Amino acid sequence: MLRIDGRLLAASVVGVFLVGAATGFALSSGGTTPVTAGNPDSTPAGASTPAPTPASTAAPA
């Protein structure tokens, strides 16, 4: 029967976790579409702001 040292097994599990975490972070942070003249459907980051309220659009007194 194959014997595996506990430290080697723990290091392997940690290594797989770190590679998976790095891959997930890299894939999730690269999902934005750049705003270019050739891509009219793209929206700039932060474009989904709420509609202005009457108080924010009122003329200053």
Would you say the pTM of this structure is higher than 0.75? no
CA dist 23 and 19 (Å) reads: 6
CA dist 39 and 47 (Å) reads: 15
What's the confidence (pLDDT) of residue 38?
61
pLDDT, tens digit (0-9, with 9 covering 90-100), for 5-29: 999 999 999 999 999 999 888 887 6
- CB contact at 8 A, 29 and 37: no
pLDDT, tens digit (0-9, with 9 covering 90-100), for 39-52: 655 555 556 666 66
Cα-based angle 28, 13, 24 (whole degrees, multiple of 5)? 5
Instruction: At 50, list the tokens.
Output: 């709420």
CA dist 23 and 12 (Å) reads: 16
